[in-house]
C-alpha cells in the first residue's frame, strides 16, 4: 500500500477543492494514484460539491433540538429557498444537529471533523449531500447548552428564526409556562444581553458619548445646565438597558411588568427560584450578503469562460 503524505493530500485538495479527509480517503482507496483519486471524488459527488464552493449559501433554516440535558440551536445554509423547504435538506440539518448534541463540539471546524459513524465525518457527510441535492450546504453557526435544568426552544415560520433559553431550575409547571412565554418574548424583542451587568463598560461609555452629543445637538436643550444634560443622558442610558437587556425589558404581552418581575412572580408560584441562566437567538441569513447578478452579466461570464 502506497504511503499517503500530508503533502499528497494538500496537492489533491488544491486540484479538486474537496475536503482534507475526503482527499486522504480517496488517495488511500486509489493507492496513491492522483488521477484515480480525483475520479473517485467526482464519482462520490465530492468534486461536484467543491465546484459549488464559490456559491453564496444565503438561504437555509434555523433548527432546534433537545436531547436529554443538551439543547442545540443551529443555522445551516443552502443556496435556494426551494431547497431550504425540502424534506431532504431538513433531514441533513437534523442529522447535523444530532451530531452536535452527541459530540458537543467547540466550534464549526470541530463539528466538521466530528465522526458520524462508519469513519464518516460531518464534512464528508455534507459533501455527499451537496452531490445529491445539487446546492452548496454550509453550517454557519450553532450554540449547544448542557443544562442544569431544562432548555426551551422556539422556531419561527419554519426556520426563519430560532430561540433557545437555558433555565437552571427544575422543569415544573410554573417554570415551563414561564419558559414558553419568554421564548416568544425573546423572538419578538430580540435582546442583546441577559442582564445589565453583561454590558461592557466600553459599550456604555460609547453609548453615553453618543447620547451626550445628541442632547447637545437638540435645540430643545439649548442653554440648559450641564447637570441637566447629564440627567437626560442617564435617563437614556437607563432606557438603553430596558431595551437591550432581557431581564430589564417590558414583557411584550404586558408592558406594566418587566421580564425580571415576571420571573419573580413565577418563582413565587413555583415555591422555588426560577433562574434564567442564558439565551441565544438566530435570525436566518442575518449578515449574509446575497449575490445578485443580472442575466446578461451571467451569460457574459460564461462566454468569457469558454474562451479560456
CA distances (Å), origin 206, targets 199, 236, 276: 11, 13, 28
CA distances (Å), origin 17, targets 35, 46, 53, 238: 14, 9, 8, 52
Weakly modelled stretches of the chain, pLDDT under 50: 292-296, 298-299, 302-303, 305-308
The pLDDT value recorded for residue 123 is 94
Q: Is 163 left (phi over 0), alpha (psi -120 to 50) or beta?
A: beta
Q: Considering the chain, tell me which residue range(s) the CATH 3.30.479.20 domain(s) occupy.
A: 53-146
The pLDDT value recorded for residue 297 is 54
In whole angstroms, give the CA distance from residue 194 to residue 186.
10
In whole angstroms, give the CA distance from residue 75 to residue 61.
6
Beta strand ranges found along 138-212 (DSSP E): 138-146, 150-156, 161-167
Q: Which helix (H) or strand (E) holds 39?
A: helix 34-43
Cell 435645540 found at: 219
Could you read off the pLDDT of 232-271 as tens digits, one per residue? Answer: 999 999 999 999 999 999 999 999 999 999 999 999 999 9
Q: Is 29:40 a contact under the CB 8 Å cutoff? A: yes
In whole angstroms, give the CA distance from residue 123 to residue 121.
5
In whole angstroms, give the CA distance from residue 226 to residue 233.
11
The pLDDT value recorded for residue 73 is 98
In whole angstroms, give the CA distance from residue 40 to residue 54.
22
In whole angstroms, give the CA distance from residue 176 to residue 188.
19
The pLDDT value recorded for residue 67 is 96
Fold of domain 53-146? Tetrahydropterin Synthase; Chain A (3.30.479)
The pLDDT value recorded for residue 21 is 82
Q: Is 106:26 a contact under the CB 8 Å cutoff? A: no
Pairing assessment for the beta strands 250-251 and 254-258 based on DSSP bridges: antiparallel
Q: Which residues lie across from 65 on neighbouring strands?
A: 72
In whole angstroms, give the CA distance from residue 165 to residue 213.
37
The pLDDT value recorded for residue 298 is 46
Between 1.10.8.10, 3.40.50.460, 1.10.1060.10, 3.90.1200.10, what CATH number should domain 6-45 receive?
A: 1.10.8.10
Q: What would you measure as the largest C-alpha separation in the chain, in angstroms?
A: 87
Q: Considering the chain, tell me which residue range(s) the CATH 1.10.8.10 domain(s) occupy.
A: 6-45
The pLDDT value recorded for residue 224 is 92
- Give the N- to C-terminal CA distance of the chain in Å, as an integer: 39
Q: What is the pTM of this model?
A: 0.76
Pairing assessment for the beta strands 70-78 and 150-156 based on DSSP bridges: unpaired
Amino acid at each position: 500500500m502506497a504511503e499517503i503524505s500530508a503533502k499528497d493530500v494538500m496537492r489533491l485538495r488544491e486540484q479538486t477543492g474537496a475536503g482534507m479527509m475526503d482527499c486522504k480517503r480517496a488517495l488511500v482507496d486509489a493507492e496513491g494514484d492522483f488521477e484515480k483519486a480525483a475520479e473517485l471524488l467526482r464519482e462520490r459527488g465530492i468534486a461536484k460539491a467543491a465546484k459549488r464552493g464559490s456559491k453564496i449559501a444565503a438561504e437555509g433554516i434555523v433548527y432546534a433540538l433537545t436531547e436529554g440535558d443538551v439543547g442545540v440551536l443551529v443555522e445551516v445554509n443552502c443556496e435556494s429557498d426551494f431547497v431550504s423547504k425540502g424534506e431532504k435538506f431538513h433531514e441533513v440539518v437534523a442529522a447535523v444537529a444530532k451530531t452536535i448534541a452527541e459530540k458537543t463540539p467547540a466550534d464549526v471546524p470541530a463539528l466538521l471533523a466530528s465522526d458520524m459513524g462508519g469513519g464518516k465525518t460531518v464534512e464528508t457527510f455534507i459533501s455527499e449531500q451537496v452531490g445529491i441535492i445539487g446546492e452548496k450546504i454550509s453550517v454557519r453557526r450553532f450554540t449547544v447548552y448542557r443544562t442544569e435544568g431544562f432548555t426551551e426552544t422556539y422556531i419561527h415560520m419554519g426556520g426563519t428564526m430560532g430561540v433557545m433559553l437555558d433555565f437552571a431550575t427544575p422543569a415544573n409547571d410554573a417554570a415551563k409556562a414561564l419558559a414558553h412565554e419568554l421564548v416568544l418574548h425573546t423572538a419578538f424583542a430580540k435582546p442583546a444581553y441577559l442582564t445589565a451587568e453583561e454590558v461592557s463598560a466600553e459599550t456604555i461609555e460609547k453609548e453615553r458619548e453618543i447620547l451626550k452629543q445628541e442632547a447637545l445637538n437638540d435645540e430643545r436643550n439649548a442653554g440648559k445646565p450641564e447637570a441637566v444634560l447629564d440627567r437626560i443622558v442617564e435617563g437614556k442610558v437607563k432606557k438603553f438597558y430596558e431595551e437591550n437587556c432581557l431581564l430589564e425589558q417590558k414583557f411584550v404581552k404586558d408592558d406594566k411588568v418587566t421580564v425580571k418581575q415576571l420571573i419573580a412572580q413565577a418563582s413565587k408560584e413555583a415555591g422555588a427560584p426560577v433562574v434564567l441562566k442564558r439565551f441565544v437567538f438566530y435570525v436566518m441569513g442575518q449578515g449574509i450578503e446575497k449575490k445578485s447578478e443580472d442575466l446578461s452579466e451571467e451569460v457574459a461570464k460564461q462566454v468569457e469562460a469558454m474562451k479560456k
